[in-house]
Amino acid sequence: MTDLPHSKVAGKNGETGFELAAEALNDTQDVLAFLRTRRSVVAADIIAPGPDERQLSHIMEAAVRVPDHGKLTPWRFIILQDDAKAAYAALLRRLWLADNPSAAQDAPVPEADFAVRAPLVITVVSSPREHPKIPVQEQLLSAGAVCMALVNAALACGFAAQWRTGWPATDERVLHKLGLAAHESIAGFVFIGSRRPDAPPLTDRRRPFWQHLTSRLDATAFHEDE
């Protein structure tokens, strides 16, 4: 946050951190400026329009450009748009209402309503491969990197985006409909679109001071024990 406008804020338990000034967020002037100021937009504030096919292709090209030990590509995507996305949102609504019988039929349904409004939902599926040397954990980390790259590429294109999981990510009925195999799991649902014009101004959330999380070792740490 060096040189960026910010204020110091304390967390509930007194932990210190900082928030960037609203006008500093998602600065796309250059790559490092963007990485230092990137900020998701909550799915509740994401509506149409989303990227066109060319923009989507650029975003996807960025999403697959991630570290991947052994070039296993242990992830894949399911793009939900238009009718398919509407049907997916309707499925979530049906399932949730069936599980919550006391809720009114027109009750807001978590995750379903976001899928109704956002024009594009990209499911990142973690699809680990059997490998003698590369553990599943590393492959999951690569799937996480894909989600991050996807969100960042969408934000860098000027869209609103958020990486979510929520109840659908572990609901067996949803996983079945999405066509996941037994060894696969959801790394994230990435919602992409535009920020609702009537949304509250985009503000930062508290970020930790990296210095508080970081130690520097000196060489003696690695000397042979006496």
Ligand X SMILES: Cc1cc2nc3c(=O)[nH]c(=O)nc-3n(C[C@H](O)[C@H](O)[C@H](O)COP(=O)(O)O)c2cc1C
How is 18-30 classified by DSSP, letter by letter?
EEE-GGGTT--SS
* Cβ 220 to ligand X shortest distance, Å: 36
Q: Please identify, using beta-carbon distances, which residue of 93 and 164 lies nearer to ligand X.
A: 164
Q: Please identify, using beta-carbon distances, which residue of 41 and 91 lies nearer to ligand X.
A: 41
Q: Please identify, using beta-carbon distances, which residue of 117 and 222 lies nearer to ligand X.
A: 117
Give CA separation, 150 vs 40, 106, 145, 147, in Å: 11, 32, 8, 5
Q: How far apart are CA 16 and CA 25, in angstroms?
A: 20
Q: How far apart are CA 20 and CA 24, in angstroms?
A: 6
Q: How far apart are CA 197 and CA 156, in angstroms?
A: 18
Q: How far apart are CA 119 and CA 51, in angstroms?
A: 9
Residue whose pair of structure tokens reads 């973690």 in the numeric block: 126
* Cβ 226 to ligand X shortest distance, Å: 43
The residue ranges that bind ligand X (CB under 6 A) are: 38-40, 42, 162-166, 188, 205
* Cβ 152 to ligand X shortest distance, Å: 9
Residue 151's closest CA among 73, 30, 43, 13?
A: 43
How is 203-218 classified by DSSP, letter by letter?
----EE-GGGG-----
Q: Please identify, using beta-carbon distances, which residue of 44 and 215 lies nearer to ligand X.
A: 44
Which residue has its beta carbon closest to ligand X?
40
* Cβ 183 to ligand X shortest distance, Å: 19
- Residue 184, amino acid: E
Q: Please identify, using beta-carbon distances, which residue of 134 and 186 lies nearer to ligand X.
A: 186
* Cβ 164 to ligand X shortest distance, Å: 4
Q: Please identify, using beta-carbon distances, which residue of 127 and 162 lies nearer to ligand X.
A: 162
* Cβ 150 to ligand X shortest distance, Å: 11
Residue 180's closest CA among 168, 193, 167, 192?
A: 168
